Structure 1
Amino acid sequence: MTPAPASTATATATVTAPANISSRPSRRLRIRPRKLFNDLLGIVVALVWIFPVYWMFLSALTPNARLRQMPPSFLPTHATLVNFTRAMTDPGFLPALRMSLTITLVTVCIVLVVAFLGALAISRFRFRGRKAFIVSILVIQMLPAEGLFIAQYKMLSTVGGYVPAFGLNSVLGVTVLYSAAIIPFTIWMLRGFVAGVPVELEEAAMVDGLSRTQAFLRITFPLLAPGLVSSGVYAFLQAWNEFTIALVTLPDQASQTLPLWLRGFLNASVNRGVDWAQVMAASTIIAIPVIIFFMLVQGRMTSGLVSGAVKG
């Protein structure tokens, strides 16, 4: 067969090349509207999610009389710090803050230690009743919290008669209930992180002469730091914002936590109307420690969540 002349091949390439080039922009044009739609949808969802938080901050900076006017203003045109000053100078603020911080920090420490040991046991060891223990963790999560209030109240009131430190209106008593409510899910969360770390790493360290405890502390434990941070954030949020258990087990006004203190603004304003600006200022004050804590650990928490999703 006689090969095609060079001029013919060049013409063919010249004709074919524009066809291929013209097809590429059309493919990009088909993808671009979908990407634009996804970006716009993400922005809309983010705005809808963040608007209540923005409205809380805006209302906290707005005088109560201005807050009731119509139409509402969505910009801080009359910003003031009077609402924050009134909330922070309230006689019950500092005791409630001290109570919430103490209960939350003790709860987080207990939850992390117990849940970590539980997750380590069900992920690294095979023992009799292991599956039943895992199933019991899931069953406990199905129990409604409201169905336990009477039993929890009776338990603390009875124990408080013998050991007042674990009775009603006590830090330790409420901490035990908080920990019992948070530990099951935290064990399930940490189980994925522990299972994601290969046991061969510990075995290799033990071959090099380390004991099981040394291999775990030097090799495995540093790899589990993101998971512990994520679990700590979860425990912190649950303990800091908990309301129903505190309402039942902390009937004394001197022992109330910040969520109960916030509820006091509504009760005190029944006869003269609710001062929503002050309520929003108090809510903002309660949210600030959570925001600060999240900003400090958000890097570790993000890597921990991604790691647990991939390895678990």
Structure 2
Amino acid sequence: MNRRPSLLESFACHALLVAGVAFALYPVLWVIALAFSGTQTPTPRVLPIPSQPTLEHLTAVVGATRKVGDATVWLFGRQLMNSVLVALATAAVGVTIAIPSAYALARFRFVGKEAGVRTMLATQMFPAVAAAVPLYLILSHLGLLNSRTGLVVCYASTSVPFSIFQLRAAFEAIPVDLEEAAMVDGATRFSAFLRVVLPAARPAIAVTALFAFMSAYNEFILAATLLDKEEMFTLPVMLQRYIGEYDAQWDKFAAGALVVSLPVMALFYVLQRNLVAGLTAGGVKG
């Protein structure tokens, strides 16, 4: 019989949880305070409360425009579109290629399987910045510099191996008996894969896609190296422009950071049900 926690234990547990949440949220509150403060220079204080509250920094970042030829381009909107499209395409390419590859590694035996897995693991040991120069030369030869397609190609080269490793473990955790039961009932292996394995692996696929999206959405070094047109910048490169060599516009940087985080927060909200679901939930529901 489980013992009920005492009042003191319950209070201590909740106090620790509140302290942990406060510790995690304190930097975020400082960003919010800087974004909505009218003062130009951050002042040290215990409580991050906006001083002289204003929306000026937020509107300056979101409403940024630039003349391109005879047209006026909404710069922030273009950069936001660049980031979201590149991140979505990277996640889609990574997951689409990784699903059949991971399933084959998890279910079949073939020549070169272990060597291929070790080779993919070896590619994950090198930072992406180490390949910046070769990637720049390849994209320059292909004419893909300053393009979203070039960024997707670069990001997919790292998201595909990561996604394969993630999904391989997920497919291995799904009992083979589920597929065999479906095939006994007349389903082909491909049909069993579509109707049994994929629904069971849906939470893992959602998590993998989310990580691929976030890694591409937040990446800075390759984007700053491969892009030199302001209207083609992604949001991390845009934010870096507010921190110069001799001055730093912390107010606009904080305002931009808040807006940049909104798509990721929205994606977390949409995928929250899959993030907490069990890996085999789809295979045991009647």
What TM-score, normalized by structure 1, do the two folds share?
0.79
Aligned-residue offset at 1:45: 2.9
Partner of 2:69: none
Aligned-partner SS, 1:83: helix
**CA distance 1:125–1:80, change in 2 (3 Å):** same
Deviates more, 1:122-131 or 1:75-84: 75-84
Partner of 2:34: 59
Aligned identity (percent) is 31
Give the letter aligned to residue 93 of structure 2. Answer: I
Task: Work out which of the two has the higher radius of gyration on C-alpha atoms and give 1 or 2.
Answer: 1
Aligned-partner SS, 2:53: coil
**Which of 229, 242, 253 is matched with 2:206 structurally?**
229
Aligned-residue offset at 1:36: 5.3
Give, in whole Å, the separation in 2 of the partners of 1:68 and 1:260.
Answer: 23
Give, in whole Å, the separation in 1 of the partners of 2:238 and 2:157.
Answer: 24
Equivalent residues in 2 for 1:258-297, closer than 5 Å: 258-267=235-244, 273-297=247-271
Aligned-partner SS, 1:80: coil
**Which of 218, 231, 246 is matched with 2:223 structurally?**
246
Give the letter aligned to residue 199 of structure 1. Answer: V
Equivalent residues in 2 for 1:1-312, closer than 5 Å: 37=12, 39-65=14-40, 67-69=41-43, 71=45, 73-76=47-50, 78-91=52-65, 92-160=75-143, 167-267=144-244, 273-303=247-277
Give, in whole Å, the separation in 1 of the partners of 2:43 and 2:112.
Answer: 63
Give the letter aligned to residue 104 of structure 2. Answer: A
Aligned-residue offset at 1:306: 10
Aligned-residue offset at 1:128: 0.8
Give, in whole Å, the separation in 1 of the partners of 2:8 and 2:116.
Answer: 50
Give the letter aligned to residue 141 of structure 2. Answer: T
Give the letter aligned to residue 296 of structure 1. Answer: V
CA deviations on 1:65-124 (whole Å, 9 max, x unpaired) are 3x5345465224533222111111112212211211211111111011011122111001
CA deviations on 1:10-45 (whole Å, 9 max, x unpaired) are xxxxxxxxxxxxxxxxx989x876665554444333
Give, in whole Å, the separation in 2 of the partners of 1:72 and 1:83.
Answer: 23
Cα RMSD for the two superposed structures: 2.3
CA deviations on 1:263-310 (whole Å, 9 max, x unpaired) are 12223xx56x42211110011110111111111111211225898xxx
Give, in whole Å, the separation in 2 of the partners of 1:204 and 1:28.
Answer: 43
Gaps of 5+ in 1: 1-26, 161-166, 308-312
Give the letter aligned to residue 153 of structure 2. Answer: V
Give the letter aligned to residue 139 of structure 1. Answer: A
Q: Confirm or deny: 8 A CA contact 2:91 2:213 kept in the other structure.
A: yes
What TM-score, normalized by structure 2, do the two folds share?
0.86
Count matched residues: 270
Aligned-residue offset at 1:252: 2.5
**CA distance 1:85–1:72, change in 2 (3 Å):** farther
**CA distance 1:28–1:194, change in 2 (3 Å):** closer
